[in-house]
Amino acid sequence: MKNIIFIAPPAAGKGTQAAMLKEKHNMSHISVGELLRREVSSNSEIGNSIKGLMKEGLLVDDKIAFKLLEQRLMKDDLANGYILDGFPRNLDQAIEYDKMVKRLNLSIDYVIYFNISREEAMKRITGRISCPSCGAVYNEYLDTFDKPGFCNKCFAKLRKRSDDNETTFNHRFDTYMKRTQPVIDYYQQKGILHVVEASGSREDTFSKIESIIGGEEK
């Protein structure tokens, strides 16, 4: 069993890589954001409190996030390991997560940081367009189209999200790096941090991750 943490700035592709690992190795993919959204959908007492915080534009308390995460880690589908996607996001969370892992008799085997240049990440974000009909996602700078501006699969007109712009991206990227650098340093000091250059294709990035968890880092 190999337990992995993915840390990555916006548009580095960690969600895609987590899905690829899950499919190939039957690992569990755990996203704290998804755990929170599911709890809200359940209309539980905790879910309703989360919904209230979100409506007021407030952050969800770490205690709630850790409670849901601990419940998830106690399920019996982790035999092949798990990928923890995008968490912890700050140093306090990293320290608390260490305590939880020890309490549950689990391990942190690899922390993989996706290194991507600001320029490449911005190209991925600002070029992102999607199909409102079938859900396909493209990049206007990187993909080719049978008919420019239209989906290759169902031929519907493609749309761009209003927040996929340089101003929003720069704010997200800078905020992420400021909050996350202490986490990167923390795991590096523990000797379990691995850096993957993620500016290439998804297949290239996946090959590098496979080399790391297989024992040989390229």
For residue 212, name the pLDDT band (cuts at 50, 70, 90): very high
For residue 215, name the pLDDT band (cuts at 50, 70, 90): low
List the chain domain ranges.
2-117+172-213
Show Cβ contacts of residue 154 under 8 Å, excluding neighbours closer than 6 positions.
131, 133, 134, 136
Assigned CATH for 2-117+172-213? 3.40.50.300
Among candidates 89, 87, 177, 173, which has minimal Cα distance to 126? 173
Name residue, tokens 């590098």. Answer: 208
Q: Which of 55-59, 83-87, 123-127, 194-198 has the least mean pLDDT? A: 55-59
pLDDT on residue 133: 95
pTM comes to 0.84
Highest mean pLDDT among 11-20, 98-107, 156-165: 98-107
Is the pLDDT at 214 greater than 90, yes or no? no
pLDDT on residue 59: 75
Among candidates 127, 152, 125, 132, which has minimal Cα distance to 142? 127
pLDDT on residue 1: 64
Q: Give me the mean pLDDT over the 52-75 stretch.
A: 88
Q: Give me the mean pLDDT over the 131-153 stretch.
A: 93
For residue 218, name the pLDDT band (cuts at 50, 70, 90): very low
Active-site positions?
14, 89, 128, 161, 172
**pLDDT tens profile 148-206:** 999 999 999 999 988 889 999 999 899 999 999 999 999 999 999 999 999 998 999 99
User: Residue 132, preceding bond cis, omega within 30 degrees?
Assistant: no
| Distance between CA atoms of residues 69 and 43, nearest Å | 18
